Chains A and B, each alone.
Chain A
Amino acid sequence: MARFVERAENLARILEVHETYARDKRGGRDWYTIVQLNADEEIFAEKYQSVSAKNVLHFYLADRENPTSIFSAVKSARENGRALRPLISTEMWVQLNVFYNRLAEIGDRELTPGALSPLLNEIKQACQTFTGIAEGTFYRDQASYFYRLGRYLERGDQTTRLLDSKYYVLMHDTDVTNMVNTGQWLALLRAASGYHAFRLLHQNDLTPWRIASFLLFNPSFPRSVFLCVREVDSALTALKSRYNLRGGNDVAEGLDQLRSILGTRSIDEVLTGGLHEFIDFVQRYLMAITDRLGAAFFGHPPVERAAWQHEELWPPLVPASPGGLQIQSQA
């Protein structure tokens, strides 16, 4: 439930920023990057003839058959909510219901330029309202901690996706005077609601690596990967200590390790090793955590992910830099 709401919110953020700010030199917008970002090229191509703004927006906002659309995410959140109804507050359930009904009535007219931005804002606010209601009404029992776990796992994952979506632009142009790309970087920060927080930290230094570092490692930014992992860790610790849950030791260990990587690795090291590779590593790590949480607490069968899982408990650590291991051995 928490994960679906986070997912819907993040998608609304990406679409809104794309609609409004993420323009190229001529002021154009390439909508296909969003399809690529979500790795939906195949199912998109099956359903739509062309990559127009209208099609992409329909696909991600209102398409009932697309499992990654905002509609589907909120529908799933509501279905989860129905199943969890005895555990969650009435207000949470009502919000999911109202939200779902609102999305069900989205017409084509709301997907037109000018109407879209208010709609996406409304969706973002509905998600934030849900999160606020949960914070204010959800009885702090086991269920609420699992809710927090899910929310922050998803949020961290979504931030890596956001960063990955622009990494090509970010990494292949270091010309800071180039306003087009500055616009893209600002768009990235705005998508994460990090623009003003970032400006507070770096008044005069809007470089891609600073932005990447901010979104990955900043300890105070509510959507940074580091903060999200820390929150997942604290929710898990609470579950284990307050409710004496015995499972999840392996997850706790994994979280410790991920936290320490995020807490100590410098952005320079990440860049030398490849930002995309690092993001990929974090995403696989978060996936492994999800799988293991499922196995530890809900008896989910182990998920086939990738070859590394059969031999290793966690994804192989990406080296900080190509020469990183050698430096270690010398030390």
Chain B
Amino acid sequence: MRVARSELLAGRALLAVLITITILPFLSIFTTALYPSGSVPVGLSWPAQPQWGNFVDAFKVANMSALLASSVFIVLAVVPISLVISTMAGFAIGLLRIPGARLLLLLFVFGLTLPFEGIVTPLYFLARQIGILNTRVAIVLPLIGLFMPFAVFWMRAHFVNMPSEISEAARVDGASAWDLFWRIHVPLARAPIASLGILMSVWAWNQFLLALVLVEDPTQRTMAGALGAFQGHYATDIPLLCAGTILILLPTLLIFVLFQRQVIAALLQGSVKG
């Protein structure tokens, strides 16, 4: 690896600039969050008397514990159901190769490019019609449906590459399709299932449009949806808004730092396969 010295410097300088540009926004809202509530601080400056209490206030006015509970509920409702049914579908399409598998795959793949805005209006009226508007169920059910194209596509990509000898050996031993799936193939698919689980958790947590349209009460929404409502209420109190934003970001950042490698890998594979 011979690289000219000047190039080495230029390259490192570029990276340093990019890293700074990425981090400065976070620093800026952090210092802003420490100014007295109601003031209008300048971009990046350290307050004379940091008001750490702003975080406590934001925690209270944003009703953080309720928000956390609501988001966790939505993730715990959406992700396990989505994992089970998409793994089953991916298994049938990719491995059992049932008649019509190609057509089914095409039908799911079509959904991959579909913008949520394309269906959010009827979802509102459907939710109103079945009486689930303004409940978390109104977010959970459509979200499972909206995850299906990607999730089925993802699991099918795993199963289509499984050598058929495994299944045939099990067949000879008289295993039913359900045994084959549950005892043999699900344990073998642990890695792609885990990645898919991480991906869908992040997406559910960050889902905004569905929460905005289908649920009015922020404490029944996802984290991103709650943040949108919080901004609506406290847009004028800049330090408080920044403190609230940081609090809402914290769980996501924490998860990212802890599971960095898995999250990056999952998000990247997710896009490549998609």
Say whether A associates with B: no
